[in-house]
Amino acid sequence: MSGGVDSSVAAHLLLQAGYQVEGLFMKNWDEDDGTEYCTALQDLADAQKVCDTLNIPLHTANFAAEYWDNVFADFLQDYKALRTPNPDVLCNREIKFKQFVNYAEHLGGDWIATGHYARGTYDNGTFALRKGIDASKDQSYFLQAVPSSQLRKCLFPLGNWQKQDIRAMAAELGLHNHARKDSTGICFIGERRFADFLKRYIEDNAGPMVDENRRLIGEHRGLHQYTLGQRQGLNIGGVKGRSEAPWYAAGKQPATNTLVVTQDPKVLEGSWLRAGDVNWLACVSFPLACHAKIRYRQADQACVVYPAADGDLLVKFAEPQRAITPGQFVAFYNGDIMLGDGRYRSKVEPLAKLTSEFGLMRYRVEVECRWFVFLSHHSDILELPALSAQDEKFVVDIIEGFDLQAAQAIKDFEATTNHDVKAVEYYVKAQLSQNDALVPYVEWIHFGCTSEDINNVAYALMVKQAREQVLVPQMMKLVQTLDGLAVEHAELGMLSRTHGQSASPTTLGKEFKNVAVRMLRQVRHCQQTVILAKFNGAVGNFNAHLSAYPECDWAALSANFVESLGLTNNPWTTQIEPHDYLAELFHTLTQFNQVLLDFNRDMWSYIAIEYFTQQKVEGETGSSTMPHKINPIDFENSEGNLGLANALLEHMANKLPVSRWQRDLSDSTVLRNIGSAFAHCLIAYQATLKGLSRLQVNSQAITRDLTSSWEVLAEPVQTVMRKYGLSEPYEKLKAATRGQQIDEAVYRQLIDTLDLPPVAREELRVFTMALDVHVVTASWDQHKQTLRSIREDVFIVEQEVPRELEWDDEDETATHFLAVNSLGQFIGCARLLKSGQIGRMAVLKSHRGKGIGNALLEAAVTAGKAAGFERLFLHAQSYAEPFYRQGGFLPYGQAFTEAGIAHIAMEMKLPLPFEPPADLPAKKVSPDSGHTADPPTRSVSKADFFEGYSDCLQALERVIASARRRLLILSPYLDHELFDREHIAQAVSALARSAPRVEIEILIFNSQLMVERGHRLLELARRLDQKITIRLLDETPTGTSSSFVCADLDAYWLLPSFEKHQGIADLNNPVTVKRLNETFAEAWRKSREDPNLRLLRI
């Protein structure tokens, strides 16, 4: 329920159809709360009034955080990358048909419904998304990115209605909003200039504005401010010698920050586009003849869709399209049925810009241009003089400004030449012809070259950059992930399996490490493969070169050229570079993929026997008929793509080095599949990483398996028997264990029958099948000797703590904890005093690094919570501060020395039982559903009245750490004891770097002391001046206390006096925060720039 007429009538139609209907108002944007641009309050009031009229309950939900992370962040990233996004499409996918669906299911709903003019139909159980009946209002275009699984959960009551009939129906029902204006544009921008809105998040970067012939026309404000085909807002006045025809934005060249404009609308036209990230809603086959829209309300355009080698789609339109814009969405239709969507842009995935046909064209252009520049600097070639710096930059700009329009121009040449490299040559010549100084030298393009000279260097550059920028980073990410898992699970014992049967134990960490090492070896081989290229003419002998310039050392010259591109020259070739290096590289990638394939299958099997569980993903379907299943699809997906990748890589490795005589063309078609092979590799690597991220180790199942397989101890037992000379040890153990499952009792009986020395027999008897450690509560009376023994070894002997300081009267009344291993040995201890202090944490030296300290600390904290403590504290040895931080403790006060050892006081505030404020409105309960109408919200905390330095500092750190978007600080001198603390600076720094749109504003009264002594927040403001602003106040504003901090719209910290460190903090008090925000805003308006800080460039 948006408050508009469409959703209102949709609710009425559902009621008429017999559905039980409840409304939901979603708030997706809170950056402009309280401004004239935010209509949320009025929208909510309208929605509530409609629900009251229809007699249905209204729920409210705030998805602003999800909208920022999943829609707006992408929106900003696209604009920074000079694309033109469509946030409405993403909003439907990420919010309305994802968060809304999840929320509705939480409330017990069976369906969701919206006011979209679209239709969802079923034909023999097959779902189809169709256009709305009202062609002028059809909104299926905006639903193109929503997965079919989500669309199936939605009803579209308005799909069969005309808009005018909906308004008439609203009037008949007496709905107050029947004449309300339809919302248009992007929801979070509202009624303001788009350029002004964008400035809040992306800085303008002015640059030259040139026409298609590179003549300067004016200056633009920033490339991100323009979209292709844009006419308004270019601010081009009368240009001398040009007509009064309108100007259009025709292209962006980020390398030179140049905007290309034109008065010729045909320059904007193109017949091809590339689409990626396709969300198919119907089964299709290629080539696909269909219709498409590249913008909302465009008439359907006939086209044919082809698959590209790198997994994208190439779309050829029957008629040229105006202003095909990177970042927008193209939707495909068969009649009124939506087939799917693709987001078209110049760079869909990291590989697309490198290994696609577009990438190959760009590399060919680069080789032609750089060879031209290289020749101009050769002293023996007088006919081509050295280029001026300006002309050389012009040539380089052809490379760096290469875009989709340039690629289309090459395709247009190719339509005539029927030769791809010749088309590149003609394109480069055409570009040079636009510079009068270079026109006499255009025929030096492609001088002495055969097509294979251009091609092999282009492919070498492509492969080198794909390896370095995409493949190796992903391969190393796999290695590093497995290395991390190896360390994390180094101590988890696991049953091995050889031939599918139980075998001697290993550890889970070691098995991960096995794979990581194998992979790393192949990564190193991949990195060490030398990328070769040749540039020696038609058959490798410089025949043409020598006929023109016999005095030149062409062998040395070509080698220098190849090496200038970062490649290694191969002088011994025929017409083609023999591709041996490619074979070596592809064999290495194949072997890496085989290791990963082996790992994927092992993980699949371990999941099958429940050694791992997989995290459930909301909305995901495991099986169309068995709803309980969570399939290991990521590992299966990876396996399938590895198979395809290796099929291509192996074929290319075997085929490419083979060529008849000095050259045949059979390698040309094969080379074009490099991108496909690399793409399947990349998809596989990402799928495995995704699968690993969803895994959870089921240590109980692993340990259960291990502890029920005592028969595998036959191997160490027979080895000990050999040591002591017993006859036929293998045969005896084989007879006792083969094919049998042995438990602990049978094992120990077996050991007792062996004729071994008593010491050896006892050693074998204490063997165990698990490394289990647990913590028990102990009393001083019963376990005094054990506790004293552990503390004696750790504190008195190892750390040389005086005995008189170690033992005190607190032990008799404390709660004690002992860590016990699987052998029944006591290996660590801790205690909890009546005051809430945790101490005497000790783990025997030989047992450290195995998580025993964590177990002891967790046991002590759990006991403290159960005892009702509001606060636990401890004195940590300074080196152990990070350990206790991980356990939830924060430092307070100054460092001190205890028993000759440096310590820091740390504490943990335990949560109080939840007590809602008396004025909290009662929740509505949905009729019949038994569910509350309101979703879970952030806990409401009581105000925290603090007293003393440590409490004051901890409260300040918590409030700052709670901020997500905005932090306000008003403090006279940014007191060093509180604000100049490492953890405070870290929290402020983390906030500043957490999101593109973060505001941190600080008001002070005097900066002289801070500048003289130095201050962490001043240094932070100097480095992050775009996020942190510090200004000076001349007088204390009315109504302020000594200092306060506000985090977003919820949390505050208020300190009336620095002398007593007494004040109040609250993590959820919007009323007080609003008042403090108003006070801060008034003070900010009266503040000024600080001259002391200006000297520091703050």
Residues classed as catalytic: 499, 623
Q: What backbone phi and psi angles, to 5 degrees, belong to 708?
A: -100, 15
| Block residue for tokens 């807002």 | 233
Quick one: which of 417, 308, 288, 305 has its CA closest to 353? 308
* Cis-peptide into 287, omega within 30 deg: yes
Helix residue ranges, H only, 86-205: 87-91, 100-106, 148-151, 163-173, 194-199
Q: Residue 210: beta bridge partners? A: 216, 260
CA atoms within a 13 Å half-sphere pointing along the CA-CB vector of 404: 26
Give dist(CA 836, CA 874) in Å, integer. Answer: 8
CA 828 remoteness from chain centre: 41
Nearest to residue 234, comparing CAs of 210, 202, 199?
210
Q: Say what the alpha-carbon torsion angle 347, 350, 353, 359 is, to the nearest 10 degrees.
A: -160
User: Rounded to whole angstroms, how far apart are CA atoms 903 and 881?
Assistant: 9
Angle at 457 between CA 452 and CA 458, to 5 degrees: 95
Among 356, 311, 305, 370, CA closest to 333: 305
Do 27 and 60 contact (CB within 8 A), yes or no? yes
Q: Indicate left, alpha or beta for 869 from its phi (over 0: left) and psi (-120 to 50: alpha).
A: beta
Integer CA distances (angstroms), 692 to 644, 743, 793, 1050, in order: 21, 33, 41, 37
Instruction: Work out whether strand 112-113 and strand 154-155 pair parallel, antiparallel, or are unpaired.
Output: parallel
Distance between first and last Cα of the chain: 46
Strand partners, 1002: 969, 1030
Tokens of 951: 């409490």
What's the token pair of residue 346?
């110049």
Rounded distance between C-alpha atoms, residue 760 and residue 779, angstroms = 36
Within 324-449, strands assigned E span 329-334, 337-343
How far is residue 605 CA from its own chain's centroid? 28
140 bridge partner residues: none
Give 190's Cβ-side CA count (13 Å radius).
Answer: 14
- Smallest Cα–Cα separation from 132: which of 10, 303, 304, 305? 10
